[in-house]
């Protein structure tokens, strides 16, 4: 065992899930820790879920013992013989599956050599494909054999995701042609699997996320997923670059924004995103074309945002205030960004935000309806919305001002003048 593998084993063996798996592993189980947790132990990074392989015919019994000792349960995902047995444990998961084709051949089924580093349990004996430790040292993403990406094109997205998650890594030059060929087949991969990888990629820090997206654009993967013009795709990447958070839903909306609302909505449905995300994207696209307070000041310059503009924006964006402001900061012009920053300052004050989203009406509803001379109708709803906006913007203060505002609305049918400067 090298010094590097000895250090990695010490880090890995201190994990509770590894200790549990070691205690449950019998000699006939041939349990081996492999994958991201092992790689991260070498890199000194916080590890995620633990992946384990077991001998053919032994995975089920081993996973059952593991779950019993953990006080958990076994959840089977997928169909035999390639089903994964998941054991929830302390907020993480232990994934168990059966090795295929012998222990060494099983490692070669992995997507990249750095994900094929493995330790036998409980002994800690280290094993890896040829050159894997050198790839790790040189921060190189290389498949363990030819044909890996073509067998499962999803690995193209995984490679891009690792570019985003593992700083300083690059794709091996020799793998470029196979990756480009596999990228053309990404549409054959199920939408659900693609979405999982895209979420992880788009949740990376902004600079790393941008690097991964530019890689996908360079190898043609984004053109496969987003069947549109290259300039629009590049424009989407540039918008994502401006996003100041790691929200994959907002990043995906920015990536698709240059395609237009209809095409973007079609892509989101085709990609099997949640209805909540589709609703969010629809709201974001509408806001981008209807930001409150657009107009010019006395000298023709864009006028600064007013209290009404801020209140209207926050009310229009509810319940997606945070996402909407991040989106507008990325897609908006100078005035829109100034408005988004002003609205963000209010959003960070819960009491002020609550007063804007749910203003307290100084008059009972019956009196409001009486002054407006309106029964239940869309017109009444519009009038109440305008009344609440005026309250939220501080244009109405007190019962007298409210009655004057309502009387002016009833008399003119238009928005009355502001009563409070």
Q: Cα–Cα distance between 96 and 90 in angstroms, integer?
A: 16
Residue showing tokens 């880090």? 11
State the average pLDDT for the chain. 91
Predicted confidence at residue 420, as pLDDT, reads 39
Where do the domains of the chain lie?
A: 3-138, 148-272, 290-357, 365-412
Q: Could you tell me whether strands 84-89 and 92-98 are parallel, antiparallel, or unpaired per DSSP bridges?
A: antiparallel
Buried b (16+ CB within 10 A) or exposed e, 345-363: ebbeeeebbebbbebebbb
* Reported confidence tier of residue 413, pLDDT bands at 50, 70, 90: low
Per-residue pLDDT for 316 more than 50? Answer: yes
Distance of CA 292 to the CA centre of its chain: 28
Neighbouring-strand partners of residue 96: 52, 85
- Taking CA atoms, 195 is separated from 171, 323, 368, in Å, by 22, 19, 49
Distance of CA 369 to the CA centre of its chain: 45
Mean pLDDT of 231-247: 94
Residue showing tokens 């209805």? 275
Long-range residue pairs from 340-343, CB within 8 A, at least 24 positions apart, any chain: 340/313, 342/305, 342/309, 342/310, 343/305, 343/310, 343/313, 343/314, 343/317
Predicted confidence at residue 94, as pLDDT, reads 95
What topology does CATH give the domain 3-138?
Beta Polymerase; domain 2 (3.30.460)
Residue showing tokens 């790839």? 135
Predicted confidence at residue 227, as pLDDT, reads 85
**Range with the lowest mean pLDDT among 20-34, 283-297, 338-352, 383-397?**
283-297
pLDDT digit string (tens) for 144-165?
Answer: 999 999 999 999 999 999 999 9
309 Cβ contact list (under 8 Å, min separation 6): 292, 293, 339, 342
- Taking CA atoms, 224 is separated from 187, 200, 227, in Å, by 7, 19, 6
Neighbours of 198 (CB within 10 A): 23
Predicted confidence at residue 401, as pLDDT, reads 95
């Amino acid at each position: 065992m090298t010094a590097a593998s000895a250090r990695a084993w010490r880090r890995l063996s201190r994990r509770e899930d590894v200790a549990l798996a070691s205690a449950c592993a019998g000699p006939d189980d041939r349990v081996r820790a492999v994958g991201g947790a092992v790689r991260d132990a070498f890199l000194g990074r916080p590890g995620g879920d633990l992946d384990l392989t077991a001998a053919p015919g032994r995975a089920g019994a081993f996973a059952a013992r593991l779950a019993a000792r953990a006080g958990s349960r076994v959840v089977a995902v997928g169909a035999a013989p390639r089903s994964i047995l998941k054991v929830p444990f302390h907020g993480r998961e232990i994934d168990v599956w059966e090795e295929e084709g012998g222990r060494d051949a099983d490692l070669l089924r992995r997507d990249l050599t750095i994900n094929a580093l493995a330790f036998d349990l409980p002994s800690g004996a280290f094993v890896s494909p040829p050159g894997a430790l050198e790839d790790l040292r040189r921060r190189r993403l290389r498949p363990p054999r030819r044909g890996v990406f073509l067998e499962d094109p999803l690995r193209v997205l995984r490679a891009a995701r690792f570019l985003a998650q593992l700083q300083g890594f690059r794709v091996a030059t020799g793998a470029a042609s196979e990756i480009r060929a596999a990228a053309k087949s990404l549409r054959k991969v199920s939408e659900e699997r693609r979405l999982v990888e895209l979420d992880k990629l788009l949740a990376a820090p902004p600079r790393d996320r941008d690097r991964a997206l530019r890689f996908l654009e360079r190898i043609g993967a984004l053109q496969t997923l987003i069947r549109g013009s290259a300039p629009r795709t590049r424009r989407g990447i540039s918008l994502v670059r401006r996003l100041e958070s790691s929200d994959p839903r907002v990043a995906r909306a920015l990536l698709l924004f240059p395609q237009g609302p209809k095409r973007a909505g079609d892509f989101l449905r085709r990609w099997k995103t949640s209805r909540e995300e589709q609703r969010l994207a629809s709201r974001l696209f509408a806001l981008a074309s209807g930001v409150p307070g657009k107009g010019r000041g006395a000298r023709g310059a864009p006028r600064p945002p007013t209290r009404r503009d801020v209140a209207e924006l926050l009310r229009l964006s509810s319940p997606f205030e945070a996402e909407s402001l991040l989106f507008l900061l990325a897609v908006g012009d100078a005035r829109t960004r100034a408005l988004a920053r002003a609205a963000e300052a209010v959003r960070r004050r819960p009491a002020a935000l609550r007063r804007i989203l749910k203003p307290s009406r100084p008059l009972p509803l019956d009196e409001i309806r009486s002054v407006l001379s309106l029964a239940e109708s869309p017109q009444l709803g519009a009038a109440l919305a305008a009344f609440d906006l005026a309250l939220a913007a501080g244009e109405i203060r007190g019962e007298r001002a409210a009655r004057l505002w309502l009387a002016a609305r009833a008399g003119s049918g238009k928005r009355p003048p502001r009563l409070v400067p």
